[in-house]
Structure 1
């Protein structure tokens, strides 16, 4: 058995539009959240553990030194705050976990602990926090702050999580009595200040919200750098792996488990999920045609432009101005998103080597739903991973249907995917197997 999550790389932003199968993407649908409600219900019916929303808080202008590619095509902007979408999805689903990206660089621990605890209460214990430290100086400038260097951001995030956990624990689990006859709602003896003074943060506490059903939200992380992996292994319960190829995937998972054990954690409670964007069709001919379209879209036309614009924004370097045969290592910046560059360098030393493989997927998997299910099972058996996070830029109702009504049943027939939900909270979903 393995876990499945869905990664919405576009965040609470404009879904795929203007294509053959995008249908009517009415601005009112996505702004109200209704478009995402449809997705969430389908993925819950399919048995997914959770949906995770990416987020950015700025208008990118990295690619070509201009914001045109992003604004003209609705790519990475507009992007609304995904935390506001969580209650909408919580009201319209019953079981699936709901994960929002929240940055330790742009919140105070008290504010984030209060928000995340509220969302966990509103979803009945299904909220997850995708912890990011943010590598974009553009985003930092929007908030009017300076961004610390790469490793220092993780040092700060360690203390951030420590304070947030103390705040969530400032109310004992049984502090809410809600006894009308006794005239007591909260037992005041079970709510205490935290009086935290650290190197980066301080807070008296306590929080002024009821204890979250899970005690604290589930932590999700995607550490790719050496320091990022150590942070993820220390704190996260689900870790997103973007390392390409079976050998690198296995090396990454082994590294995470070793760091988790060194931090005093049971490695089996740390779930490593591989980012995957499978190509599927009903026949071999259809599959091959889709592979050809995918390969062209990585480097050609609008899709190729948007792919390069996206990697430019997240990596912090302008791909448009890099010579195809120039060593990519020359663009390594300690203040950039190191995982993006390291992901590229794992494929090859130059942009010419990397461009044909430039996507989020850890490997190319293609076939009919049953063939894809078989390949996924073989990968997990070989690598020893805990599941997959299905992602990509193609977010249409057709794509959701292919996964929910094609791939998920094929996985269940092989006995590797859940058939219904035995528990109510996201943490219990992840710890079930």
Structure 2
């Protein structure tokens, strides 16, 4: 199959993974971003984010990858342009598409362009508007496709190269064939459909996964009230082939760049159409309450939080990434500080911005250091390193033996035997 010249707009998690994987497939890729520091890091041979396998793939394909701040340079020889820019929520909950439109407006400088492909998550109907804009700009010959991403941070390279499916939404056969050709070498089926359906697939898939998480957390609350064990309940539920075990871990709720943003965008899209999407509203409400419930339980156990020293173990929204976007830890830290607590943190990868709440917390190099002198510790992120902590040593250094396992990472009996007052999500409370 012929190899193509591709331009990728956006050097974030999705853009860099897309660029590296397309280069791995043999295509020549120019990556454009608006952040000078990010491009400087990439040009120096480093990567500005943590994603397993990504750095090696970029290094292996460095002859086919280039990085630039210049939109004109990126599109000049491009046959295909991928739009991988951020679409953050506005105050209304609608997606901010200004970055998408900035890319579309830059396409007039391309003489060889055959297709524009949007991987950014956009509201249903965006493709129709982009198609009209391309036509108005004299680019009627340029195909358009929605190609939503379904990669999970921490295994994004694997998800791109061996996906469950590649969704291609387009109105013409030539663009469908081109996208299928671009993915030659990817080990997964290509599902071709209309543009609106492809746009909806992304939002619906994320909303369904978010629903599973919030549903599990609601059942966990019921388990706490009735004495049932959420881990046993979800294990048995997950054995049902109709349901499966994925995204059924009780905890402090979902975070990251996709689930919170996309669920709110879906709700806003429904509201704009005059439809009250009550289910997704409930999913969002449950998720926003979950870390606050944990703080309330900790407050009750400690008989107040003012002046208490709390160690937060984990800051990123999940293990295996350095991503802090919409991390439950931000809500947890904010609430603790608002209650007058002192907060120390540990995380192996997190690089939070120097702003609240993190500017008012202290960072420690190890979990044991974070827990030294603490009145309570809270596991916020399911880092596997926390299973290897010398918990007896950590307990000896604490002022009080309270441990809230917000990810059900540890064994309740083992922690209680050590002497911890151990709290978790949906598994009852063990007190020595």
- TM class by shorter chain equals under 0.3
Tell me the TM-score normalized by structure 2: 0.25
Larger radius of gyration between Structure 1 and Structure 2: 2
Tell me the TM-score normalized by structure 1: 0.25
Greater RCO, 1 or 2 (C-alpha within 8 Å, sep 6+): 1
